[in-house]
Amino acid sequence: MGTFSESDALLSLGSVIDVSSLREVIKDAIASVLPKVERVYVYLLDGETRLTCNDPPHELPQEGKLGDAVLQQKRVDCKGLPPAELQGKPMVGLAAPLAPDKQVLIIPLADKDAGTVVCVILVHCSQLSESDELNLRALEKHILVSYKRIQALQKLQPWPQVSLSTSSSQNSLAKTEGPPKNSYSDLDRKILQLCGELYDLDAASLQLKVINYLKQETQSPCCCLLLVSEDNHQLFCQVVGDKVLEEEISFPLTVGRLGKVVEEKKSITLQDISLEEHKQLNSMLGFEVTAMLCVPVISRATSQVVALACAFNKLGGESYSEMDEHKIQHCFCYTSTVLTSTLAFQKEQKLKCECQALLQVAKNLFTHLDDVSVLLQEIITEARNLSNAEICSVFLLDRSSHELVAKVFDGGVVDDESHEFRIPADQGIAGHVATTGKILNIKDAYSHPLFYRGVDDSTGFRTRNILCFPIKDENQEVIGVAELVNKINGPWFSKFDEDLATAFSIYCGISIAHSLLYKKVHEAQYRSHLANEMMMYHMKVSDDEYTKLLDEGIVPVSEIDPNFAKFTYTPRSLPEDDTSMAILSMLQDMNFISSYKINRQTLVRFCLMVKKGYRDPPYHNWTHAFSVSHFCYLLYKNLELVNYLEDIEIFALFISCMCHDLDHRGTNNSFQVASKSVLAALYSSEGSVMERHHFAQAIAILNTHGCNIFDHFSRKDYQRMLDLMRDIILATDLAHHLRIFKDLQKMAEVGYDPKNKQHHSLLLCLLMTSCDLSDQTKGWKTTRKIAELIYKEFFSQGDLEKAMGNRPMEMMDREKAYIPELQISFMEHIAMPIYKVLNDLFPKSAELYERVASNREHWMKVSHKFTIRGPPQQQLPGLSGRGIRPANDGREQRPQDERVPGLGRRAHGGRMTPPGTSPLGEESGHTQVQLCNPFPFRENNGADFGNKQKKGFFLFIYTMCSPRRRHLLPSPPTSLSPLSMLLLPDTYTSPHPTATPRRPASSMRTRSLPACCRF
């Protein structure tokens, strides 16, 4: 038994064409993959039921171990066979028992489609390893495939039928009487030898071997294979004679007799082709063609012509005969599958290479996003290399002028805009592609109606073919067009080039779109940087102020005012020039400067920059920020916050108080959204527009050179400080406060837990809100003055909203706002609940709650004396009021003791109608408000109202908030005050189309405003 390698064994199995040869090949294959094989016996299916072996000739026993293995169709491993199952002396070596290291394998191979065993192999060998098992299983599959292939071949006729295309072909092929005796087996032997040699993975090498075989069999000095492209539009040749071409030759298949061969699947000779085709053959082959036989090669899988086998100039000057045609067809009957499979494999390899090339292209493109011109130059280079084109041009679509613009050419980049090339976006080949968005492959440029020959005529360049494809962005919008001109080494651009261009265009589109976007972002960054520089320049603190504050040293808080650390102290009484020093004094008294090792120069610059960062609206200015910061200091000193919060949390709270209204414009969040301001564009999607802007301004100051007071912090502490500042500043949004108010009440009920992180967060939010509203905890004079400033700011916003054509809220409308009611409602439903929770947590803060309640009583006492809406004109220049009524005009006064729980008035049967008036002023012609369906709501944290019910309910409450109408309102839940939304700066306060009716004349108060209460 000869020795085979595993590859030789598998190759032999793939090339065997008869049963007798299969037996020998199986033996050799088994011996090559299994260890120490002694003997191999092969039983093959003879007919439909008999499994026979020829060594010695006998039939497989139907009983015993062999019969059981066939019946069960499973491999059997044993230590030998019973003597009754052994046929002849050669098989005696298989008798049981065998040596300990030997065994007999009974291997049945079943055809699952037919359901029968077609082969049984007896193997006398050593024990198998895991790798032997794997090799054996793989070999079994190959043996079964070979057997089925041989069975299929035996059903074929010995000689393929030949159909010649024309009578001239029949006359030109010499007639033969048929193959001589034993010639078929001789051909089979040669074919078997050829198939055994076809193991190359390179299609050109396979073609060389097949062509050499054809040369010998047809006695031709030169043969070639013309391969048909997948789209049946081209023929290409890789090998001519015994030479592999450096660059394949391709030519169109649309005309001529060669195209007819592919279409009709019939052989032709030299007499069947035209003189022009004869000349082309002579040019391609490099010699004079005197005789030719062209035979179509048909794929057995698709029944399509995959190649044309051509033999030229038969030796001896003879004509090609039918025998020559038979030999060619017989050859490809066995080799066409190997050839087409190798071509397919080679195509896949080509695709793999192209994919790798595309990935490299993507890498090259995406590394040049910073410069569009360089990117376009890279696109041109890569497109030309990928497609083997002579020239490439890229046009970008200018939608404003509806033109295609080319700034980059094969030769370089045009710097001057006057020299850039522009064409209308709807003209020419590029315009057609830009308009339709579809690829255009032009095989003959001069015959295409869209091609303009003027450029070729003027330059002498000849355009043969064009591949023009669109470049699209992520939204499939055309942003440009690429144009490839003149395929190198080809008649035109192929379908493969189209697919490659389509894939390439995706990378081009993404890279160009991102490059243009990158350019815009870069320009925006430059503008932003410039604007930031300008802002910081104008915010630059005075050197004199900086030097003065630095040289004076930090004054102890006791020297500022003896009562500076008491809740009764009014920080607004301190001159503004002294506030910066007071900030430094408070920070030093709280020991933050030394404990955090803050550089004094940096701290001074930071404080002055924060002060400079506030604008000058009536209320939300630096004085307000200083008052809020001072109240934080008071909480620290009087409530012993060090026992409740960490030092870094208290420090963050104080700095947040300083920065919480930076760059406030005197307008609220809803105004920013309604006016579509830049701030709304930046922050509206996140909510709390102004609060996020205040935090951003604080970060901008910290990032300014010489202002970062946290620069000595560790990375962890620095990040935590910024996170705390963000959360604390966002907590100044009253909408946020209402969302967490339930949690604050619950925390006050169960008691503060210093180990609970959520309690820390809630307490910081509560303290920040308390600081923000701290003006309400001062004396009546201060509270009244603050109301004047607040409504002056509100009315300015209302005027802006009117100028924009919008209807402002009543509280923003100087002609409708009734200030005492608004202040009382604000205190009852916002301020007092806050300081009540603070009092529950910190009993030492009781005086704060009491002072807010006292101020509310002051507003209650003076509310009946207000007969106007808006502040008196003489007190606030520029703010119009409607005047003051005479003191005694006969109007009835309502007693002060008429109270409704939660709203401050007593109801009489659910409603009260002043004498001489109908309910809600029907006599005055005002719109009546129906109360039969109170708005439903859920009692949780104030944020869970349905959108429509929430807006409608609060607008209704606000509309009815005057003392004359309160008795008509449904009682709100104690945990949530409906009027708490009055001063919300968010969407809760959006204008509503339902106008609030003015109070009827009969319900207006008749007393003039005392001088002590006027503002």
Q: Say whether 693 counts as a known binding-site residue.
A: no
Closest CA to 249 of 264, 260, 234, 261: 234
Tokens of 8: 């030789």
Is 630 one of the annotated binding-site residues? Answer: no
- Confirm whether 620 is a catalytic residue: yes
Quick check: 863 and 1005 in contact, CB under 8 A? no
Tell me the residue type at 533: E
Q: What's the DSSP call for residue 819?
A: H
Contacts of 373 (CB under 8 A, 6+ apart): 407, 408, 413
Which pair of tokens denotes residue 50? 């008999």
> Closest by alpha carbon to 501, among 386, 413, 404, 399?
386
Query: How many Å apart are CA 625 and CA 585, to the nearest integer?
Result: 16
622 labeled part of a ligand binding site: yes
The strand order across the sheet containing 39-46 reads: 57-59, 50-54, 39-46, 116-126, 102-111, 76-78
Torsion of CA 526, 673, 662, 777, to 10 degrees: -170
Spatial neighbors of 411 by CB under 8 A, at least 6 apart, are none
Confirm or deny that 432 is annotated as ligand binding: no
- Contact between 980 and 830 under an 8 Å Cβ cutoff? The reply is yes
Beta bridge partners of 78: 104
CA angle 489, 493, 494 (to 5 degrees): 105
Classify each residue of 118-149 as buried b or exposed e, where b means 16 or more C-beta atoms within 10 Å of its C-beta.
bbbbbbbbeebeeeeeebbeebbebbbebbeb
Q: List the one residue out of 101, 109, 114, 117 whose CA is nearest residue 137.
A: 109
Kindly report the CA angle at 583 between 582 and 586, in degrees rounded to 5? 85
Ligand-binding annotation for 661, yes or no, is: yes
Q: Which of 170, 166, 71, 184 is nearest to 120 (CA)?
A: 71
Helices (H), 220-290: 257-264, 275-285
Alpha helix stretches (DSSP H) within 166-269: 167-172, 183-197, 203-218, 257-264
Distances (CA, A) of 571 to 142, 564, 778: 97, 8, 10
Q: Are 204 and 238 in contact (CB under 8 A)?
A: yes
Site of tokens 């045009």: 414
Q: Is 623 annotated as a binding residue?
A: yes
For residue 423, list its beta bridge partners.
404
| Catalytic hit among 124, 326, 620, 693 | 620
> Which tokens belong to 689?
């527009």
Angle at alpha carbon of residue 722, lines to 719 and 725, rounded to 5°: 150
406 contact partners, CB below 8 Å, separation of at least 6: 393, 394, 395, 396, 420, 421, 422
Bridge partners of 393, per DSSP, are 483
Binding-site sequence positions for AMP = 620-624, 661, 772, 823
What are the residue numbers of the active site?
A: 620
Binding-site sequence positions = 620-624, 660-661, 772, 823
Binding-site sequence positions for Zn(2+) = 624, 660-661, 772
